[in-house]
C-alpha cells in the first residue's frame, strides 16, 4: 500500500491505495473553501496554517495501515510553496519514521491519473486540463512522456470563474456558483469577445474576457439576481466557446482516438456537454474523471504513485524539492 498526501492549494487530503490492485482503501479530504470564501480566493498563509491542523488529524485515521505501507507519496509541484511545504514535511517525517521510500508526484499528472483511479491506465490520450491554476492541452503518451501542446498566456479557465464570482460578490470557489447562476441567465444579453478568435495559434487567454466582464458589471450597476445570472451566462458561454474553438482546431489537424478533460473545472457541465458533442461527431472516445475526483485530492496522487513505485521512481529525503511552478512535467 502507498500513503499519498496532497496539499498543493486549499485541500488537505490523504489516501491509501493498494499497489497490486489499485484499490482505494482510504481517502479523506478536508476542504478550506469556507475559510477562504470571505477573501474571494485562496490566502496562502491561511491555507498553510489550516493544513497544519488538518493533515495530522487525517493521518490519525490512517495509523492502522502503517505496518502495510510500502511508500509515501506527496505532491511536490506545482502549487503554493507554503502549502506544498506542509505535505512534503509530513511525507519526509513518515518516510524516515517508517523507513520506507518517498515518491514525489507532480500535481498535474495527478489530475491526469484521476481518470484511472481504481482502473487501468489508458494512454496515449489527448487531455484538456482545466483547473484554478492551469488551462492546458497535453499529449500524454506515457507516465514519463507528456507534452504540453497548448497553455494559457495569462489567467486560467477556473481562475476566471473565481474572479467573476468575486466581482459579483458570490464567494469562492467561483466555478460551481457561476455555473448555477448561468443556468437562469440569458446568454445573449451581453456580447463578450471570444479571446484569440482571429489567432491561428492554439493557446488560451482569459485576462481580456475578465476585463470585459468587469466593464459590463460597472456599466449596468448590478441591482438584482437576474443581472448576475445574465452576466454569468454570457461569461460562461464565452469562456467555454474559447476553449471549444481551440479544441476544434486541434481536432481539425487530427482528431484523437481518446480525449479527456481533467482538473477541478472539468466539472463544468456546459463544457462537458460541448465536448461530448464534438467528440461524438469525430468518433473520439471522451474520458471523464468521476466528479468526486475532479478537484484536488490525494487519491489521484496515489494513483500516479503506483506507476512510479513500479519503476522505482523514488526520491531521497534530502533531494525532494518544492517547485511552485513547472514548465513541463515529463
Ligand atoms: O483542480 P482544482 O481543484 O484546483 C487546482 O488545481 O487549481 O480546481 C479548482 C478550480 C477553481 O478555480 C474552481 O472555481 C474551478 O476549478 N471549478 C469550476 C467548476 N467547479 C470547480 N470552474 C467552472 N465550472 C465548474 N463547475
Ligand atoms: Zn488541481
Q: Which of 171, 204, 265 to mutate to test the pocket of ligand 1 (most atoms within 8 A of CB)?
A: 265
What pLDDT is stored for residue 65 in this prediction? 98
131 lines ligand 1 (CB under 6 A): yes
pTM of the shown model: 0.96
161 within ligand 1 shell (Cβ under 6 A) = yes
> Percent of the chain at pLDDT above 90?
96
Residue 54 binned pLDDT confidence (cut-offs 50, 70, 90): very high
How far away, in angstroms, is 243 Cα from ligand 1 center?
15
d(CA 326, CA 127): 18
- Taking the centre of ligand 1 as the mean of its atom positions, its distance from the CA of residue 127, in whole angstroms, is 16
Instruction: Answer whether the bond into residue 173 is a cis peptide, omega within 30°.
Output: yes
Give the pLDDT score at 330.
Answer: 67
pLDDT tens, position by position, 6-16: 999 999 999 99
With a 6 Å cutoff on the Cβ, whether 176 touches ligand 1 is yes
Sheet holding 258-262, edge to edge: 145-151, 135-142, 125-130, 258-262, 285-288
Cβ of 179 less than 6 Å from ligand 1: yes
The answer to whether the Cα torsion of 193, 195, 197, 199 is positive or negative is positive
Counting from 1 in the atom list of ligand 1, the atom nearest the Cα of 11 is: 3
Nearest Cα residue to 143 out of 127, 126, 123: 123
C-beta of 32 in contact with ligand 1 (< 6 A): no
Q: Which residues of 196-210 are buried (b: 16+ CB within 10 A; e: fewer)?
A: beeeeebebbbebbb
Expressed in angstroms and rounded, the spacing between residue 285 Cα and the centre of ligand 1 is: 23
Backbone φ, ψ for residue 134 (5° rounding): -140, 145
CB-based contacts of 325: which residues, under 8 Å, 6+ apart? 77, 78
Query: If you measure from the C-alpha of residue 211 to the centroid of ligand 1, how many angstroms do you get, rounded to a whole number?
Result: 20
Quote the pLDDT of residue 126.
98
Which of 84, 267, 238 lies closest to 158 in space, CA to CA?
Answer: 267
pLDDT tens sequence across 16-27: 999 999 999 999
Is residue 268 in contact with ligand 1, taking CB distance under 6 Å? yes
> How many Cβ atoms are within 10 Å of 66's Cβ, its own excluded?
15
For range 123-144, the mean pLDDT? 97
Q: Radius of gyration (Cα) for the chain, nearest Å?
A: 20
Position in ligand 1 atom list of the atom nearest CA 159: 12
Instruction: Work out the pLDDT band at 38, boundaries 50, 70, 90.
Output: confident
Please tell me the residue having the least CA distance from ligand 1 atom 1: 264
Cβ contacts of 320 within 8 Å, gap of 6 or more: 74, 76, 88, 91, 92, 102, 104
pLDDT of residue 221 exceeding 90, the answer is: no
Which residue minimizes the CA distance to atom 26 of ligand 1? 268
Question: Which of 81, 67, 54, 51 has the alpha carbon at shortest distance from 16?
Answer: 67
Question: Is residue 103 over pLDDT 70?
Answer: yes
Ligand 2 centre distance from Cα of residue 224 (Å): 33
Query: Does ligand 1 have an atom closer than 6 angstroms to the CB of 185?
Result: no
89 CA to centre of ligand 1 in angstroms: 26
Ligand 1 atom with the smallest distance to the CA of 165 is: 14
Distance CA 176, CA 179 (A): 5
Q: In the sheet that 102-106 helps form, which strands lie side by side, from edge to edge? A: 24-31, 11-17, 2-6, 71-77, 102-106
pLDDT exceeds 80 at position 327: no
Q: How many residues does the chain have?
A: 330
Lowest mean pLDDT among 32-36, 95-99, 122-126: 32-36
Is any ligand 1 atom within 6 A of the Cβ of residue 266? no
Give the integer Cα–Cα distance in Å for 212 and 160: 12
Q: Does residue 61 have a pLDDT over 80?
A: yes
The closest of 251, 245, 234, 135 to 199, measured between CA atoms, is 245
Instruction: Tell me the mean pLDDT in the region 197-217.
Output: 97
Q: Please state, rounded to an integer, the average pLDDT across all residues of the chain.
A: 96
Residue 64 has pLDDT above 70, yes or no: yes
Report which ligand 1 atom has the smallest distance to the Cα of 158: 12
Ligand nearest to the CA of 294: 1
Q: Given this model, what pLDDT does residue 105 score?
A: 98
Amino acid at each position: 500500500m502507498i500513503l499519498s498526501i496532497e496539499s498543493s492549494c486549499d485541500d488537505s487530503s490523504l489516501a491509501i491505495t493498494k499497489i497490486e490492485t489499485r484499490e482505494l482503501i482510504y481517502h479523506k479530504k478536508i476542504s478550506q473553501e469556507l475559510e477562504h470564501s470571505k477573501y474571494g480566493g485562496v490566502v496562502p498563509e491561511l491555507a498553510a496554517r489550516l493544513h497544519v491542523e488538518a493533515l495530522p488529524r487525517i493521518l490519525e485515521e490512517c495509523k492502522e495501515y502503517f505496518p502495510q505501507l510500502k511508500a509515501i507519496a506527496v505532491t511536490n509541484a506545482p502549487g503554493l510553496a507554503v502549502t506544498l511545504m506542509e505535505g512534503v514535511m509530513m511525507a519526509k517525517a513518515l518516510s524516515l519514521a517508517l523507513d520506507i521510500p518517498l515518491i514525489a508526484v507532480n500535481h498535474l499528472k495527478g489530475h491526469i491519473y484521476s481518470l484511472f483511479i481504481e482502473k487501468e491506465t489508458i494512454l496515449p490520450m489527448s487531455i484538456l486540463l482545466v483547473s484554478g491554476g492551469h488551462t492546458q492541452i497535453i499529449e500524454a503518451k506515457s507516465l514519463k512522456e507528456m507534452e504540453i501542446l497548448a497553455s494559457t498566456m495569462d489567467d486560467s479557465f477556473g481562475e476566471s470563474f473565481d474572479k467573476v464570482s468575486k466581482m459579483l460578490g458570490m464567494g469562492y470557489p467561483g466555478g460551481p456558483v457561476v455555473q448555477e447562476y448561468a443556468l437562469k441567465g440569458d446568454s445573449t444579453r451581453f456580447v463578450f469577445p471570444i479571446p484569440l478568435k482571429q489567432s491561428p495559434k492554439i493557446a488560451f487567454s482569459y485576462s481580456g474576457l475578465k476585463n470585459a466582464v468587469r466593464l459590463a458589471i460597472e456599466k449596468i450597476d448590478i441591482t438584482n439576481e437576474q443581472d448576475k445570472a445574465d452576466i454569468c451566462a454570457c461569461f460562461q458561454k464565452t469562456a467555454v466557446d474559447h476553449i471549444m474553438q481551440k479544441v476544434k482546431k486541434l481536432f481539425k489537424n487530427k482528431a484523437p482516438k481518446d480525449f479527456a478533460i481533467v482538473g477541478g473545472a472539468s466539472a463544468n457541465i456546459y463544457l462537458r456537454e460541448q465536448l461530448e458533442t464534438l467528440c461524438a461527431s469525430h468518433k473520439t472516445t471522451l474520458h471523464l474523471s468521476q466528479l468526486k475526483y475532479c478537484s484536488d485530492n490525494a487519491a489521484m496522487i496515489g494513483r500516479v504513485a503506483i506507476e512510479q513505485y513500479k519503476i522505482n521512481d523514488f526520491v531521497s529525503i534530502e533531494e525532494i524539492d518544492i517547485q511552485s511552478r513547472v514548465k513541463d512535467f515529463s
